[in-house]
Amino acid sequence: MTLWKPCDKWGGFFTTAKEKYLLWLKNFADDEELVSELSAISGNEKEIEDRFYKGLEFGTAGMRGVIAYGTNRMNVYNIRRATQGLADFINKQGKAERGVAIAYDSRKYSDLFAEEAASVLCANGITVYLYESLRPVPVLSFTVRHLNCISGIVITASHNPKVYNGYKVYWEDGGQLPPERADEVTECIEKLSYTDAKTMDLEEAKEKGLLSMIGKDVDDVYIEKVKSLCVQPELCREMGKDLRIVYSPLNGSGNVPVRRILSEVGFENVTVVPEQENPDPNFTTVGAAPNPENLSAFDLAKALADQVNADVIFATDPDSDRLGCLVKKNDGTYAVLTGNQIGCLLLHYVLSGRKAAGTLPDNGAMVKSIVSTDMAAAIASAFGVTTYNVLTGFKFIAEKIQMFEDTGCNTFLFGFEESYGFLSGTFVRDKDAVIASMLLAETAAFYKKQGMTLYEGLQNLYKTYGYYSEKVTSVQLEGMDGLKKMQELMVNLRKNLPTEIGGKKIAAIRDYKSLIRTESAGISQPLDTTPSDVLYYELEGTGWLCIRPSGTEPKVKVYVNTVSDTAESSAALAEKLLSSAVAMMNACM
C-alpha cells in the first residue's frame, strides 16, 4: 500500500499538514497551476497549516470552502473525490440508470466544477443531465424529481463571499442529503485518495449516451408549476400594471427565472439593477458578500428605487434560493424586512387567500426551523393550521413534506427559515426564491389594492398577533484554532447551564446533541429529532434563546425571540437577552 492512500483520507490521519502539502506537490506535479500556487506559499507555515490541517468536510450541506489548492479548499481534486464517492454509493444502490442532474451558479469555476462532476459520474457509468448554463438551486431540486433522478448536484456557495464555492448534493426526493444518507456517502468518500477518481471526456460521454444537456424544456415545466401557486392570478394581472418592483439578482442565477415568472403572472413594472443583472464571479458591486441579508447589497437597488419610485425592492442570492426585500414606507424611505417578517407576510397571505377561496385543507401544516419566529405559529394557529418545528436546514423541512405525503397526516402549505428561505408547493424540496418572489409581489399587490404599503401590512400583523422581535448575532472563529474554539465553547456552555438569562428565568433547556429537554424542576424528556450541536433555552412566560454553530461558515450563531404588547418593549427585551447571551458565551471561551 502506498503512503498516499492511508494518509490522505479526509485530509490525513497519519501525516502533518506540511507532509500533506509536499505530497500534493509530488502527486500533482503535472498540474502547473497547482504547483505554481502551492510553491508560492512555501515557507508560509500558517497558510500551509490552514490549507492542509484537515480535509474539506462533506456533510448534509455537501462541501463549501475557499477556492484554492489544498485538502481544506475547494478545487477540482476535492470535487472529483467527492463525486467518485457519490458514484460509488449510487452504484452500490444499483441506481446508475436513474441518473444525476447537475446545475451551477455564477461563481468562479462553477461551470468547470460542474463539468468535472459530470465527467466522474459518466466514467462510472452513471447517466448525467447537465444544465447548459447557470440555474438556481430550486430548479435543480425540481429537476431531480421531474426526471426521476437518484441524485442531484449544485455547484454553489450560496451567499458566501466571492472567494468561496461549494458542492451541494441532493437525493431522489429533491431535498439535500439527510444526515444518515450524508454519512453513508461520506463513508464511501473516506475510502478514496485524491487520485482515485475516474474521469471521462464529456464528448465521449455524449456519444455513449451517458451525458445529456438540458435547459429550456425543463425550465418551461418548472415555470408552469410555479404559476400554479399564484393565490389570486386575477389580482396579479389587475395590480401588476401599478406595482413597481426593483429587482437585483446580485449577479447570480435568479435573473432569468425571477424576471420570467414576474412577467408571466402579470407584473409589468420590474426594473433590474443593471450593474447586478449579469453573472459576475467577482460580485464587484454587492459589498462584502452577495447576500440579501446584508443591507450593503441593496445600495445600488435603493438608488434605482428612488428614481423609479418603487414600492418594493427584491434581491436574490447567487443560487437564487434566498430572497431579501426592502419596502417603501409612507415617508418615502425603504425599510428592511427580515427573513422572519417576509415569512410571516407570505404565510398570512397564502393562508388567508386559500381560506377565502375555500381551498384551505383541514389538515394543513406549516413547517419552520426552530430558530425562526414564533409569530408564524400564532398566525398558523389562527387559521387552524398545525405548526411543525425542525432543525435548521431546509432538508428537514423537505423531510416533513415527504412524511406528509407518505402518511397523509398533513397537507404542506408553507415552510420557511429565518435566513431568508421560503417555500410553497411540493414540487421543489428546497427554499425557492423564484416562488417567493412571485408570492411576495402578489402580497404587495394585495395590500396596494387596499391603499396600503407592504410595510403597513406587516404592522397590521403585529397589531393582530403581537409584537414579536427577533435578533441574531454571531461570533466569528476562523481557521484551525477557530474550529477548536467552537467545539470548546459548546462543551463549556453545557458544563455551565444557567438558570436565567437577561433577567428572565429559564423554563427548560433543550440539548439537541443529547436529545434531552430538561425543565427547571429537573424533569427530563427525549427530543424526537436528529442530533445536532444546538442549545435552546426556553424562557419563562414567552420567548427563547438559541445557540448553534453555523453549518456553512466558521462562526457560532445566537438567536433570540421575544413578544410583547408593544414593539418597543419587545425589542428592548430582545436586545437585553442577546447581550446577556454574548456575555455568557465570552465567559465560556
Catalytic residue numbers read: 158
Place of cell 450524508: 182
- Residue 425: count of CB within 10 angstroms of its CB: 19
Torsional sign, CA 139, 145, 148, 152 = positive
> Hey, which residues does 151 pair with through a beta bridge?
100, 171
Under 8 Å between Cβ of 501 and 546: no
List CB contacts of 260: < 8 A, sequence separation 6 or more: 223
CA distance 104 to 116: 12
Which of 169, 165, 187, 176 has its CA nearest to residue 100?
169
CA distance 556 to 489: 9
Which of 254, 259, 263, 265 has its CA nearest to residue 230?
265
Q: Which residue spans within 268-384 are E strands per DSSP? A: 269-272, 312-316, 323-328, 334-337, 364-369
CA distance 454 to 451: 10
Q: How far is CA 111 from CA 76, 279, 436, in A?
A: 11, 12, 26
DSSP character for 178? P
Q: How far is CA 251 from CA 112, 134, 279, 466, in A?
A: 18, 11, 4, 38
Place of cell 426564491: 433
Place of cell 451551477: 104
DSSP character for 21? H
Q: Could you please report the per-residue DSSP string of 403-445?
A: HHHHH-S-EEEEEEETTTEEE-SSS--S--HHHHHHHHHHHHH
Under 8 Å between Cβ of 177 and 395: yes
CA distance 583 to 548: 15
Report helix angle 433-449 to 339-357, nearest 10: 70
Place of cell 424586512: 337
Which of 375, 381, 387 has its CA nearest to residue 562?
375
Read off the C-alpha cell for 331.
415617508
Q: Which helix (H) or strand (E) holds 82?
A: helix 76-93
CA distance 436 to 431: 9
CA distance 156 to 164: 9
